[in-house]
Chains A and B, each alone.
Chain A
Amino acid sequence: MSTETQKARRPADNRVAPPSWLRRYGSQLGIIGVGIAMWLGFVLAAPAVFTNIDIYKAFAQTTPQFGIIALALTFVVITGEIDLSFPSIMALGTAAFCLLAQASVPWPLALLGAFVVGAICGWINGTLVARLNIPSLVITIGTSFLFRGLELVLMNGTGVPLTADKYPALHAIFREPVWGMPVQTLWMIAIGVALWLLLNRSRFGAHVFLVGDNPTSARLMGIDVVRVKTRAFTLVGVIAVLAGIMTSIYGYYFWPTTGDGFLLNTIASVFLGGTSVFGGTGSIVGSFVASYIIGAINAGIVSAGINAFYTQLCFGLVIVVSVVLQTIIERRIRRQSITGR
């Protein structure tokens, strides 16, 4: 009892207390909690499936296909913007790769070309948003059609087989397991670590937070808001192309519709991970864990033998419940009224 009161004691003077661990990492702990709870739910619902390693291998292969984009998109969302065009960039970049490879450009150069295309697409988005001050929600819908349309015209609506005997190196890099570990998840971990460092330990990352928090203050203190936002969008462009290649190699085939169905999963991962839609706050760890939660729901429901029609219902429940909980916990921690008044 005495330790209880000790803990609850307010500081003696009217100074604010140092932030508690909970306050600093609250949203990240929250999302990890949701992940564990959901996993326990799956284990209880279908123990035979969820004590077997195969199911984990399954979603460890598919989740990173959108998860790596969620990691990059976290930067854009922290700057207070959104990018809805990345599914089209996935397709356009991969199309560029296929066209270059068909023109017998060596695969590493073709890959590089694809990334350049992704970077250009992202740069266009960023420039339109940051330099011309166009709302990103509006303009990236536009560029989404633009990039998709360009890809469809270039490919004439046809796909390209990406078989293992034709592209052995790419399959080794993006498909074959390494020491039994799904290579996609290894990529996700590597990119996650790199982007965590970029966000939390680089000047660019620091400026991403500042620009999203208060662009005017950032500008007054000499931060180039336009450049920071443009770079964030460019990052999404490049990573989207990587995801496009990874997805196509996984399916042995480039479909002109590549990227369809990625939009909401990816965006949901970012928001589920605790990154604020208002900008200024967000976390790579959150987006990482949230991607796997979204990925696990997909794989889990089907493997558990539950009717696949339940997938979306389950998605909806998890997303709505955890975002509501996050908001409530956040307000509690900040000692604000729950309804924000």
Chain B
Amino acid sequence: MSQANNDGTASVPVIELRNVSKTFGEVRSLSEIDFKVHPGEIVGLLGDNGAGKSTLVKTVMGFHRPDSGGEVFFKGRRIDDWSVARARGLGIETVYQERALCEKQPIWRNMFMGRELRNTWGLLDVQRMRAECARLMSEHMGFTSAAVHPDNVVTTMSGGEKQGVAITRALYFDAELVILDEPTMGLSLTETKKTLDFVGNIKKAGKSAIFIDHNIFHVYPVVDRLYVLDRGKVAGVYDKSQITMDQLIERLYHVARTGSLH
């Protein structure tokens, strides 16, 4: 098992944001955020609705461009032309809160969205994508029967199954850093457990993750470090060794009431 970098200096962070702000019109969603994830580290992101968790995730992914003055570093290198395609190319995968599926399309198309497999002639290898998709569905999504076919359109699936597609898609590609934005939302008990097990496996494989969930009972057991966001600011950063779950809950209430941790 890889060591968590409790002191934060032992290794170069996989991803680091320095002084990142994001403004939409008049609304400042993120303000002067410093944020980093070390290799092999699971970072939890907590905060109320509207605290800026999803915006932060989308900035890490390159979907949002930080306001000028903010910097994004990948493995110590400053990256100026950050984009989703770039981020995914470097091995950052995300399970978005809104799932990011194209529901009129078959499952295989969603599974390989933006990363389609091609054969030696540069044409799409539809056969292989279908087969891979069927394999992933039976191995990771628990579709035991041959009844769910990679050609089924996503609209026909249940909420949990859709989330399964989104999660499998992020995990399959052997990412360096997996971001999970409320992955357990709308999932059944067993599906939730599977997802949490998965987060644990990321760490075992020496990869990193950012884990966002409303449910602190889901977040606390699996993470190494916790960021608490409030109104677009980092209100606090904790190593898990420094804080018990009860203390954390108390502080979160305090933040919600007063906007500060102290």
Residue numbers of A with Cβ under 8 A of B are 11, 13, 15-19, 24, 197, 200-203, 205-207, 209-210, 213-214, 216-224, 280-281, 334
Contact = CB atoms under 8 A, between A and B. Distances in A.
Nearest to B89: A222
Contacts of A17: 147
Nearest to B119: A201
Contacts, number: 101
Interface residues of B, number: 42
Nearest to B143: A15
Given A217-B100, A220-B63, A222-B85, A15 B148 contact: yes
B114 interface: yes
A18 B153 contact: no
24 contacts: A15-B145, A18-B147, A18-B152, A19-B106, A200-B124, A200-B126, A202-B124, A209-B102, A210-B109, A213-B103, A213-B105, A217-B102, A217-B113, A218-B102, A219-B84, A220-B58, A220-B61, A220-B63, A220-B94, A221-B88, A222-B86, A222-B114, A224-B85, A280-B105
A206 B87 contact: no
Contacts of A197: 123
Interface string B83-102: 11111100000101011111
Given A217-B101, A220-B63, A220-B100, A202 B123 contact: yes
A9 to B, nearest CB: 12
Given A221-B84, A222-B88, 12 more contacts: A13-B147, A16-B148, A16-B157, A17-B147, A19-B106, A19-B149, A200-B126, A207-B114, A214-B102, A220-B100, A222-B84, A223-B85
A18 B148 contact: yes
Mostly helix, strand, loop or mixed at chain B's interface? loop
Contacts of B6: none
Q: Nearest 4 A-B pairs (CB), nearest first? A: A18-B149, A222-B84, A213-B102, A222-B85
B174 interface: no
Nearest to B63: A220
Given A16-B148, A18-B147, A220-B96, A206 B84 contact: no
B104 interface: yes
A55 B165 CA distance: 52
A201 B124 contact: yes
Contacts of B88: 221-222
Given A11-B147, A222-B87, A222-B88, A210 B123 contact: no
